Each structure stands twice: as C-alpha cells, then as structure tokens.
Structure 1
Amino acid sequence: MQIKKINLERIREEENIEGEDYIAVEEPMHLKVCKDSCETFAVVMRTPGNDKELSLGFLYSEGVINGIEDVKKVVERGSNTVEVWVNRLSGVKARDIIVNSSCGVCGRALLYTISILKSNLKVHRKVIFSLPEILRENQNAFNVTGGLHAAALFNSSGKLLKIYEDVGRHNAVDKIVGSLLLEKGVPADECILLVSGRLGYEIVSKGIKAGIPIIAGISAPTSLAVQMAEEARVTLIGFLRGDSFNIYSHTERII
C-alpha cells in the first residue's frame, strides 16, 4: 500500500475546513540475509510495494550479492519482513542502524570502487528533453499525494521501460536495479536512468554498479556524484527541466 487516506483540517485565512487527503506511506522493512540461518542486515524505511526488487537492489549495491545467481530465493514474511536466502555469505557486515528514506549511505564509510563503463550509447538531446514529462505522467502515487520520489528507466529512443516510486530516491533506484537483476538485465548499458530529484553519491553509485551509462536528474548533482561519473565514464545530466539541461560529465553521449 503506497497511499493512505487521512482526516485533516485545512486553514484558509480565517476559515477552518475539515476534510480528507491522501499521504504517502512510510514503513520499516526488516531485511534479513539468510544462509543456514537468518540475520537482520538492515531496517530500511521505505514505501511498501516491490519489496523483493528493493531488497535485491539494495543488497547488490551493498556488495552482499554479485548477481541474481547468488540468490536461492526471496521470501516475504508478512508485510514488512523480507528474507533473502543466498548461496554464500560475503564479508559485508549487517548495518546496526535504520536506513532512513532520505539517506542511502548514512552511518557507513564512504567507500566505493569505480567500474569503468564501456557503453557506446548515444542519445539525441530531444529524447532527453522528453523524459521528465513521461516520468511525471507515470508517477501515479505522486500525482495523488505529492509526497513520493520516482526513478525511471528508458531506452535510447525514450521509451519508458520501468518506473518505481518511493519516499526515498535511492529506494526507487534500488527497485529499478532489483528488477534488472531479476530479468538478468545487468549491465543495462543501453539505458537511461532518470530520478525525480537531486543526484547524490548514492544514486550515481547504484546506477554505475548497474552499468547504466546515462544518469539524469531533475535537480542538481553533488560534487562527489560528478567526480564518480567522470571516473566511471558515465554521462551525468542535471537540472533536466523543460527544454534545457546541464551535462556534467562525458558529453559525447548526447547528440
């Protein structure tokens, strides 16, 4: 359930009006990694729905799994617990914190290994211009609540391949990556990733690991995101609004 109806009171100058509204749901997901037994790896604050994809994408970005071949099965127990049964246990330790919906890297060391993308994808600027409107039209829960981020994957012609919404941008990206893992679609070296807000380290690192050569955002990138994109040979696009955008790295992919 992504949306919840609540009662509220609207204040309009000197008027108090009782009414109803819809808000985005945010709940904790207990993510457990299991081999012979299960251990809680993290508690992820997220919007319920597509928890299997979220779990797989999150564990992939954390280095717990290297691909879908490392996974035996995924079991959803109740509405807020997911068990991922694996063939092997990595040296990655469980997080001892709650991963909140606004921060995908809080509480852990800022370490990353750059993978150099080999994709020769080239995309016309008109395709890039068209993406925000397609994203917005397909943000069904946001259009009701105004309270959810989205991540979408497009092909080089601008066709929408998949879209996920969540209270956290990084969660929405994890859902994209998890879906690609299930389809054995990594590396996604002919795709474009678009997120509905800023481009921070966590978003770009997840996109790089999934092999996505063009990563775009409606808002600004951070300095570390630009640095990572430059080193990984990723085309990073920010402030994608209307008929304009900025390219911060590897402009050669945009024609």
Structure 2
Amino acid sequence: MDNIERFSILRVTEEGKKDTEDIITKEFPLTIILNNQELVTLLCSPTNLKYLAVGFLFSEGLVKGKDEIKKIIVDDRRGVVRVETEGDKRFTNELVAKWLITSGCGKGASFYRMADAQGQAKIQSQIGIS
C-alpha cells in the first residue's frame, strides 16, 4: 500500500492563485489484537504494520522481547495485526479499554475507548485548508 496520495489543489499565495498538485500522507486505522483480545486502534501510515504492532506492544510493556512472540498475522486489507504470545496474557477491561490513538500531531481528538468515538459526526465537506 502506498503512503501518499496526489490531489489537485488550488494554492493561494501572496502572488495569486494557482492550480497545482500536492502530496498528502495517507492515514490508516490499525487494530492490534493480542491473544484474541482487541487491544488498541492506532491511526498510522499504512506501511510496516508488523513492526508498528510489535513496537507498540514492547513500548507498553505487554511483551518483553521477540522470544515471547509465537505468531504474527498481518491483514492489511482489514487493518488488523494479530499477535500470539507464549502463555495466556489476558487483560481486564479496566486495564485495556480498546484504546483509539489518533495521529493528530497533538491536536487530534483522542478517545479512551472505541465506544467513545462512535457517534462523532463525520465532516462532509470538499473544502481543504493547509
């Protein structure tokens, strides 16, 4: 999957307006499932999903190293990475509440649970500002 898309835009500067093409980075929702338990949905670029999932699990302290991981299945069509580990690591809903982590560069909306994000209005506009 390609990381970028090309769009026709109208660029406005002090010199005037100009029709041109610009490159936009794609954003992709990736759900990480650890031992058949949905853990988190990350908004990320759509490449290197296996490494992102393993890095997330390691940085959150959910796996200690690569020897702990038995199997990794990446389904980039559905946006899911399934990770199986040695032993049965299970988490309570209080500990892991299906996080959604956005890529808003510190300015995006963040929800603690996917359920919190449901019902949010989708913007239906063709206007883009950069």
TM-score normalized with structure 2 length = 0.68
Q: Determine whether 1:9 maps to 2:10.
A: yes
Distance 1:95 1:59, change over 3 A: farther
Q: Which residue of 1 aligns with 2:89?
A: 90
In the alignment, is the contact (CA less than 8 A) between 1:33 and 1:40 conserved in 2? Answer: yes
- Provide the rounded CA distance (Å) in 1 between the counterparts of 2:111 and 2:28: 19
Distance 1:62 1:84, change over 3 A: same
Distance change >3 Å, CA 25–CA 73, structure 1 → 2: same
TM-score norm. by structure 1 comes to: 0.37
Q: Which amino acid aligns with 2:76?
A: G
Amino-acid identity (%): 24
* 1:87 partner amino acid: E
Write the distance in 2 (CA, Å) between the matches of 1:8 and 1:33: 41
Query: SS at 2:43's partner residue?
Result: strand
Runs (4+) of structure 1 exceeding 4 A deviation are none
RMSD: 2.2
Structure 1 residue runs without a partner (length 5+): 109-255
Do the aligned residues in 2 keep the contact of 1:76 with 1:82 (CA within 8 Å)?
yes
1:96-150 CA distances to partner (integer Å, 9 max, x unpaired)? Answer: 33112246xx778xxxxxxxxxxxxxxxxxxxxxxxxxxxxxxxxxxxxxxxxxx
Show the counterpart of 1:59. 57
Deviation, structure 1 residue 76: 0.8
Maintained 8 Å contact 2:12/2:18: yes
- Which residue of 2 is the match for residue 39 of structure 1? 37
Structure 2 residues not aligned, in runs of 5+ = 113-130
Matched residues, number = 103
Alignment deviations for residues 183-241 of structure 1 (CA, whole Å, 9 cap, x no partner):
xxxxxxxxxxxxxxxxxxxxxxxxxxxxxxxxxxxxxxxxxxxxxxxxxxxxxxxxxxx
SS in 1 for 2:89: coil
Shift of 1:91: 5.4
Q: Give the secondary-structure state (helix, strand or coil) at the position aligned to 1:54.
A: helix
Match of 2:80 in 1: 81
2:18 paired with 1:20: no
Tell me, yes or no, if the aligned pair for 1:29 and 1:45 is still in contact at 8 Å.
Answer: yes
Q: Once the 2 structures are TM-superposed, how far is the Cα of residue 13 of structure 1 from its aligned partner?
A: 3.0
- Bigger helix share: 1
The CA deviation string for residues 36-94 of structure 1, in whole angstroms up to 9 with x for no partner, is xx221100111111111110110011121111111111101133211111122335543
The structure with more strand, counted as a fraction of residues: 2
